Amino acid sequence: MPEQWLALIHIEIESPVRTTVVKPRLPFYYVSLRERHGLPVLPIVLYLKVGLEGIGIDTYTEQFWELQALTFNYLYVGLPGLDAVQYVQGENWLGVALTALMKIPAEQVVWLGAEAMRRVVSCPLSEQKRFLLADCIEAYRNLNAQQQLEYEKLLLGSAFSGVKAMNKTTYEKGQENALEQAVLRSGKKKFGPIPTEIESRIRSIKDPAMLGELIERVHDVQSWEELLAS
């Protein structure tokens, strides 16, 4: 048996509370990918609301009277069956980001949300990847009003400094990016190629109001330097 080979990994993410929805589809996906690419296929289902044994192998079978016509095995990860405290302390950064969907002791729900954010903010990944992981935590964190208040208070502590800067919604981050692109696109159309230093200065602006002012000023100035002049 070779020590390594090229294969496809097919990951199916499922949010329904039952496994019966995805199981019949998996053999068809497997055959289609196998025929299209001519490579071995490793099927993995990520369950968001089904725990099972946490991590394991499940089987889909089809019967034709007494004949078991099809047996299909696949790997699964059932997030509600995993220990959130264990994963929030680990080095699997996606696992840290998904801890809100795991099994959490009731008295540690607030702490775990803050700790997951703290670890993601300081993890050794690019800014974009850290943002995506933080956004995942925000999307799945389910706190009631009292817990949200406790969470905000917890972030004020020195142990969680830096989390606030990362704690932006997808909408806010997307709005910033859209405004940056609008400034660069409008300016390039009027002034020509964008100098590297100018682009860096524009991308460093995180105030939506300021970016909006730059978009309006493009029509009144004659150069990149004049656009950014105070």
Please compute the mean of the pLDDT values over residues 55-60 and round it to a whole number.
96
Instruction: Please state the rounded mean pLDDT for residues 146-152.
Output: 84
- For residues 2 and 153, what is the distance between their CA atoms, to the nearest angstrom? 54
Q: Is the pLDDT of residue 68 over 90?
A: yes
Q: What is the residue-wise DSSP string for 161-229?
A: TTHHHH---HHHHHHHHHHHHHHHHHHHHHH-S--HHHHHHHHT---HHHHHHHHHHGGG-SSHHHHH-
What is the number of structural domains in the chain? 3
Does residue 169 carry a pLDDT above 60?
no
Q: What is the pLDDT of residue 110?
A: 93
Residues 88-102 pLDDT 10s: 999 999 999 999 999
76 pLDDT band (50/70/90 cuts)?
A: very high
What is the structure's pLDDT at 116? 94
Residues 18 and 68 in one domain: yes
162-176 b/e (C-beta count within 10 Å ≥ 16 → b): ebeebbbeeeebeeb
Residues 98 and 157 in one domain: yes
| Residue 72 belongs to some domain of the structure | yes
167 falls in which pLDDT band (50, 70, 90)? low
What pLDDT score was predicted for residue 121?
87
44 falls within a domain = yes
* Domain-embedded: residue 222: yes
For 111, which DSSP code? H
For position 166, what pLDDT does the model report?
60
Residues 177 and 209 placed together within one structural domain of the fold: yes
Q: Of the residues 166, 183, 206, which one is the last residue of a structural domain?
A: 166
Residue 130 and residue 67: Cα distance in Å, rounded? 50
Please give the residue range of the domain that contains residue 48.
8-80
- Do 49 and 111 fall within a single domain? no
| pLDDT at res. 163 | 73
Q: Which of 37, 44, 45 is nearest to 6 (CA)?
A: 37
Q: pLDDT tier at 168 (50, 70, 90 boundaries)?
A: low
> Running DSSP on this structure, what letter comes out for residue 83?
B
Within-domain flag for 158:
yes
Residue 87's pLDDT band (cuts 50, 70, 90) = very high
Share of the chain above pLDDT 90, in %: 46
108 and 69, same structural domain?
Answer: no
Domain boundary among 16, 45, 80: 80
Residue 221 and residue 68: Cα distance in Å, rounded? Answer: 75
Average pLDDT score over the chain: 87
pLDDT, tens digit, 9 for 90 and up, residues 199-228: 888 888 877 778 888 888 888 889 998 888
pLDDT single digits (tens) 96-143: 999 999 999 999 999 999 999 999 988 999 888 888 898 888 888 888
* Separation of alpha carbons 104 and 85, rounded Å: 7
12-21, 43-52, 96-105, 158-167: which range is least confident on average?
Answer: 158-167
Q: How far apart are CA 28 and CA 70, in angstroms?
A: 12
Spatial distance between the Cα atoms of 25 and 27, rounded to a whole number of angstroms: 6
Give the pLDDT of residue 11: 94
User: Of 33, 62, 80, which marks where a domain is finished?
Assistant: 80
